Structure 1
Amino acid sequence: MKMNQLWHTKSAKETVSCGRGIAKLLIPGDVLALIGDLGSGKTTFVKGLAAGLGIADMRLVKSPTFVIFHIYQADTPIYHFDLYRLETEADLDDIGFDEFLSDRNAISVVEWADRIPSISERATVTVEISVDNEKERTIRLYRGLLARNLTTNIQGE
């Protein structure tokens, strides 16, 4: 996988800000695959993404680990999935996952996307978050045409 962009954040606030910036460049139908260890800041990143897409109260954005997914009503609906507890792709069929990802009127965000390899193939962009230390994170943006466009637009700001 070719890396298209890299950010270093020094706080949760900066990780939120990174998510907010990327959100402004997304269009309905996009699928974001989020990869990172437990506690790396995936849900923190999604809070920024949701804020950038019109969610006024970021406290509404919570990790869907135990419920598998949340739907956030924003300017563009957000489907927020967490695959941490799932074992196989068949588990996704039970929740209608494929229909959600195919919704061209919403943005889908999938935490732990690397647990189900076929998700990465459907992702418009993949974001990998790694822990540098207690507060600092490295955020890597990968994949295709959208990733190149995001990089161009963010660098141009």
Structure 2
Amino acid sequence: MKLELHALGEEAMTALGGDIAKALEGRGIVYLDGNLGMGKTTLSRGIIWALGQQGPVKSPTYTLVEPYELGSVNAYHFDLYRLASPEELEFLGVRDYFDGENLCLIEWPEKGRGVLPRPDLTITIDAEGEGRRLTLTGETSHGELTCRRIQQMRSEV
């Protein structure tokens, strides 16, 4: 299932992240695709704040992964932009993060091709005028259910 959404500005992107967090129910593997400056980290920030993070959510560009223990939810925000090769992920013990119970948000997933598991949800962000067009693609039953939940939330507004 594919769902197309639009966000105009940082506040709208953060709010959309909140809806996505609610629909994911604190678990899943989410690929975030888009060029530099499209809002991947802003969207991730909205998701992580909606899960209960009180402090800042920074881009893990240099650390590759930033963990967030949020009550019953363990969220991991990956930024693979600086990854030299997918094998580096093996040295990080990356497979431990993908146990089915965690929420993993992965920016630049193409850099981890061959090592990363299949996503539940792929979110592609493109520029559209002054705003952003987000295409959400459910890749698994959990991803498809997430898309349906977001569609329902958005139609109730």
Q: CA separation of 1:15/1:144 partners in 2, compared to 1, >3 Å: closer, same or farther?
A: same
Contact 1:35–1:112 under 8 Å retained in 2: yes
Contact 2:64–2:80 under 8 Å retained in 1: yes
Contact 1:4–1:147 under 8 Å retained in 2: no
Unmatched 5+ stretches in structure 1: none
Counterpart CA distance in 2 for 1:28 and 1:22 is 10
- 1:51 corresponds in structure 2 to 49
1:137 correspondence with 2:135:
no
- 2:111 corresponds in structure 1 to 115
- 2:29 corresponds in structure 1 to 31
Q: Secondary structure at the match of 1:150?
A: helix
Number of matched pairs: 151
- Give the 4+ runs in structure 1 shifted more than 3 A: 118-121
Of all paired residues, the percent bearing the same amino acid is 28
- Compute the displacement of 1:51 (Å): 1.5
TM-score computed with the length of structure 1 as normaliser? 0.86
Q: How does 1:34-113 map to 2 (within 5 A)?
A: 34-57=32-55, 60-75=56-71, 76-102=73-99, 104-113=100-109
Contact 1:16–1:44 under 8 Å retained in 2: yes
1:13 correspondence with 2:20:
no
Counterpart CA distance in 1 for 2:92 and 2:18 is 28
1:150 correspondence with 2:146:
yes
- Compute the displacement of 1:91 (Å): 0.8
Q: Secondary structure at the match of 2:114?
A: helix
Q: CA separation of 1:127/1:52 partners in 2, compared to 1, >3 Å: closer, same or farther?
A: same
Unmatched 5+ stretches in structure 2: none
Q: Secondary structure at the match of 1:138?
A: strand
- Compute the displacement of 1:93 (Å): 1.2
- Compute the displacement of 1:52 (Å): 1.7
Query: What do the CA deviations read for 1:88-141 (whole angstroms, capped 9, x no partner)?
Result: 221101211111122x432111110122223675211111111224x4111110
The one-letter amino acid paired with 2:128 is D
- Compute the displacement of 1:148 (Å): 2.3
- Compute the displacement of 1:156 (Å): 2.2
What is the aligned-residue RMSD (CA, Å)?
A: 1.8
Q: CA separation of 1:101/1:70 partners in 2, compared to 1, >3 Å: closer, same or farther?
A: same
TM-score computed with the length of structure 2 as normaliser? 0.86
- Compute the displacement of 1:28 (Å): 4.6
